[in-house]
Structure 1
Amino acid sequence: MMYQFLTDNRAELIARCRTKVAQRSPSGTPGDELDYGVTVFLEQLIKTLQVETTSEPMRSRKVSGPTGGGKPVLSEISESAALHGRELLLHGFTIDEVVHDYGDLCQAISDLAFERGEIIDVDEFRTLNRCLDNAIANAVTEFGYQHDSALAEKQAVALNERLGFFAHELRNQLCTATLALSIIKQGNVGLSGATGGVLDRALVGLGNLIDRSLAEVRMTAGMPVQNKLYSLADFITEIKLSASLEAHVKDCVLTVSEVDPLLAIDVDRDLLLSATGNLLQNAFKFSPSHSEITLNAYAVADRILIDVEDHCGGLPSEDAEKMFLPFVQEGADHSGLGLGLSISRRSVEANHGALSVRNVPGSGCVFTIDLPRHLAAATSSLAVDDA
């Protein structure tokens, strides 16, 4: 009888499985927990085989579950296999290793039976396969459920953190704007004074925060890019209008180059406006007052380049790429979410372009948007498109 063979050789089978499991296990994983699924499953397999030799063989289904494999059902094997799958996830195993655990025991039984000349009949092998199917199905199901739950919890925490930062920044800017407006409404100060400047800065900050957030939503949600051919000159003119206000608020000088009217870009305007606008916002944010911020758009061969040069003082070369990571903020001013450059790069890449940064030691940085070049022969202006 197979159950007698398994009972007599229980220690040897467990030892062989322990050796295989240890070879795959992460360092420092407790051996007793690695053995738990195999040892308990072996006991349940023996119990199942014993019951099937009685006058009521179907009672074994309470121990090992029905035939079918792959559909988890309530049984002793299902409960212990689910626990085993959960433990393996906690110890850093992969789903492949969950399956290997049970495969190790099957292989150990087959090898040892061959070595000892033990004959196992077809029905007993069918029982073994049924038990393995149900154990693997439940272990894998629980492993996947716990993995998905842990991932969902991690994502929820990250999302809540980002929403918290966003709400905090939004509240600060809104409170500042509301307070400044209430003071102006009292009639004691004018719009052109210092309080008016506070109101301007708060409104500009609100607009920037909302623009970045909308761009991030589009990138994260994978919404389709809506490309259209635009005059590069018109695009730079629109950027200049909004950036000029921020330059005034930040007490900086904005210099914008002349643009060849024959140049055009085939882009999703909203995404590229957000990306370019964010580069300018960063330039004003990290450059001292009275600095010159330069916006330069031109063509080189089959590419169109848009440069934004600031006077932040420069940065170590090894930190250049780190600036594009989410939640990374360089410089002394840590207001904002630290998402702007990450969103800008994704927005530019969505337009078949590239965003890079070049350090100018002791001076600042030059951010460059690199896009495919087009001719402006059939372009529509931005103003017409908005009409």
Structure 2
Amino acid sequence: MHNFLANNHDELVDRCIDKVAKRPERNATEGQLRNGIPMFLGQLTRTLEAEQDNGSQAGVAISGASGGDGTALSEMGVSAAAHGSTLLTLGYTVDQVVHDYGDLCQAITDLAVERDAPFSVDEFRTLNRCLDNAIADAVTAFTAQRDVSIAEQNSADQIEELGFLMHELRNSLSVAIMAVTALEVGGLTVGGATGNVLKRGHAAMAILIENSLAEVRSKGNSSDASELFSLADFVGEAAESARLDANTRGCPFQVSPVESDLAIAGNRGLLLAALANLLHNAFKFTLPHSLVTLEAYAKGQEVLIEVRDHCGGLPTGNAEKMFTPFTQRGEDKTGLGLGLTIARQSVMSEGGSLTVMNTPNVGCTFIITLPRRKWNNV
């Protein structure tokens, strides 16, 4: 058999490649296809030759004993394990790992029948042993690497989710602290506008905690909190909290009037948190004592909410990078780099978009775009 395999090496490889090409979703390049199975074919040929010349034990050093070796991989096992890991990185499934070796076995059998090449029982046993060991080692490496990848991804997802929760809780706590400070310094009553900001900060924290507990209990099944509300009221509510941040940082803050008949729809809490994140970012990065503006208006069938700062602009190509989790800009590293990521995800979940327009040497304009609705309670 080893002479048959050596003499028909290229023909067998081509047949395997042809079989692979006919399977759906198997998009390996020809170079990749010529590494895994062809290497196994060469090792199989050397195993058969070694066993013919020096006895059955001579081939074990190359291909491993029957049933595999629990202490160390054979030469064939090492190559098969590498092949299995490679298939995982290419996005294949465990059944495709098995099919790769099955294709070669089928190709050998078919060609042997066509060429009328007789093989001994011992040679077939060696072929089956090599296939068994190679498949086992390839699948083991494939599944082990896949498990590691899944565990790493789950860990990354959990870290990101926890970061999102902590970021939003900190924002709400920050608003509440600023409101308390304003009440103390100004000698204001809790029943006034600043007191309402304090109450909303506490309410936001309570909602975040309750939603997180509900998500744990229900595995992510949450109720639809969508509602229709006035754009003017929404902007006014965001501006109330933002003024505390503006006063703390000494930044002038300008809010343009909003048409009273405009409305938007969605989860008000999510959208309010998204806008609050944009405003907080603007006050954080705008140059000292420079203007931050908030404007909301209709454009066709859409409503645009714009937050403009005077941060001096961004380096070329950095605009979209700001929406990547844990990415921070500027010298201030007190945050987690999650605010813009959370804001974009919140807006997108409500059917809108969040983009940024960079004006070099001037500043940034963050734009929330949502479907336009009509407010009838005017």
TM bucket by the smaller chain?
0.5 to 0.7
Aligned equivalents of 1:235, 1:266: Cα separation in 2: 11
The structure-2 alpha-carbon separation of the partners of 1:224 and 1:134, relative to structure 1 and needing over 3 Å to count, comes to farther
| 1:370 Cα deviation after fit | 0.6
User: SS where residue 336 of structure 1 aligns?
Assistant: coil
The structure-2 alpha-carbon separation of the partners of 1:370 and 1:23, relative to structure 1 and needing over 3 Å to count, comes to closer
1:153 maps onto 2:152 in alignment: yes
* 2:40–2:80 CA contact under 8 A, matched in 1: no
* 2:164–2:338 CA contact under 8 A, matched in 1: no
Match of 1:58 in 2: none
The structure-2 alpha-carbon separation of the partners of 1:323 and 1:227, relative to structure 1 and needing over 3 Å to count, comes to same
* 1:17–1:38 CA contact under 8 A, matched in 2: no
Deviations 1:298-342 (A, max 9, x none): 111211110101110112342222222222222222321112112
Aligned equivalents of 1:357, 1:278: Cα separation in 2: 14
Q: How does 1:6-21 map to 2 (within 5 A)?
A: 6=1, 9-12=4-7
1:285 maps onto 2:280 in alignment: no
Match of 1:113 in 2: 112
* 1:85–1:143 CA contact under 8 A, matched in 2: no
Match of 2:368 in 1: 369
* 1:18–1:35 CA contact under 8 A, matched in 2: no
| 1:106 Cα deviation after fit | 1.9
User: SS where residue 228 of structure 1 aligns?
Assistant: strand
Q: How does 1:255-270 map to 2 (within 5 A)?
A: 255-270=254-269
* 1:38–1:102 CA contact under 8 A, matched in 2: no
* 1:264–1:374 CA contact under 8 A, matched in 2: yes
Match of 1:35 in 2: 39
Aligned equivalents of 1:167, 1:353: Cα separation in 2: 24
* 1:293–1:308 CA contact under 8 A, matched in 2: yes
Match of 2:24 in 1: none
Gaps of 5+ in 2: 18-27, 52-64, 187-197
Give TM-score scaled by structure 1 length: 0.63
| 1:367 Cα deviation after fit | 0.7
* 1:77–1:135 CA contact under 8 A, matched in 2: no
| 1:7 Cα deviation after fit | 5.2
Aligned equivalents of 1:242, 1:308: Cα separation in 2: 14
User: SS where residue 270 of structure 1 aligns?
Assistant: helix
| 1:256 Cα deviation after fit | 1.1
| 1:264 Cα deviation after fit | 0.9
The structure-2 alpha-carbon separation of the partners of 1:99 and 1:343, relative to structure 1 and needing over 3 Å to count, comes to same
The structure-2 alpha-carbon separation of the partners of 1:271 and 1:249, relative to structure 1 and needing over 3 Å to count, comes to same
**Partner amino acid for 1:147?**
R
Deviates more, 1:299-308 or 1:320-329: 320-329
User: SS where residue 252 of structure 1 aligns?
Assistant: coil
Aligned equivalents of 2:97, 2:302: Cα separation in 1: 51
Aligned equivalents of 1:111, 1:161: Cα separation in 2: 53
% identical equivalent positions: 42
| 1:270 Cα deviation after fit | 1.5
User: SS where residue 318 of structure 1 aligns?
Assistant: coil
| 1:159 Cα deviation after fit | 4.8
Match of 2:20 in 1: none
Deviations 1:271-301 (A, max 9, x none): 1111111100110000123222111111112
Match of 2:293 in 1: 294
The structure-2 alpha-carbon separation of the partners of 1:163 and 1:82, relative to structure 1 and needing over 3 Å to count, comes to farther
Aligned equivalents of 2:291, 2:308: Cα separation in 1: 9
The root-mean-square deviation of aligned C-alpha atoms, in Å, is 5.2
Match of 1:95 in 2: 92
Aligned equivalents of 2:234, 2:39: Cα separation in 1: 66
The structure-2 alpha-carbon separation of the partners of 1:154 and 1:108, relative to structure 1 and needing over 3 Å to count, comes to same
Aligned equivalents of 1:356, 1:157: Cα separation in 2: 25
The structure-2 alpha-carbon separation of the partners of 1:221 and 1:37, relative to structure 1 and needing over 3 Å to count, comes to farther
The structure-2 alpha-carbon separation of the partners of 1:373 and 1:163, relative to structure 1 and needing over 3 Å to count, comes to closer
The structure-2 alpha-carbon separation of the partners of 1:222 and 1:168, relative to structure 1 and needing over 3 Å to count, comes to closer
User: SS where residue 334 of structure 1 aligns?
Assistant: coil
How many residue pairs align between the two structures? 318
Aligned equivalents of 1:39, 1:12: Cα separation in 2: 14
The structure-2 alpha-carbon separation of the partners of 1:306 and 1:23, relative to structure 1 and needing over 3 Å to count, comes to closer
Deviations 1:38-69 (A, max 9, x none): 7469969xx9xxxxxxxxxxxxxx95xxxxxx
User: SS where residue 95 of structure 1 aligns?
Assistant: coil
| 1:255 Cα deviation after fit | 1.1
The structure-2 alpha-carbon separation of the partners of 1:245 and 1:100, relative to structure 1 and needing over 3 Å to count, comes to same
| 1:366 Cα deviation after fit | 0.9
Match of 1:68 in 2: none
Q: How does 1:198-217 map to 2 (within 5 A)?
A: none
Q: How does 1:52-63 map to 2 (within 5 A)?
A: 63=66
Match of 2:194 in 1: none
Give TM-score scaled by structure 2 length: 0.64
Aligned equivalents of 1:77, 1:354: Cα separation in 2: 56
Aligned equivalents of 1:273, 1:169: Cα separation in 2: 11
Deviates more, 1:162-171 or 1:110-119: 162-171
| 1:373 Cα deviation after fit | 0.7
Aligned equivalents of 1:370, 1:348: Cα separation in 2: 8
The structure-2 alpha-carbon separation of the partners of 1:84 and 1:240, relative to structure 1 and needing over 3 Å to count, comes to same
* 2:309–2:363 CA contact under 8 A, matched in 1: yes
1:338 maps onto 2:337 in alignment: yes
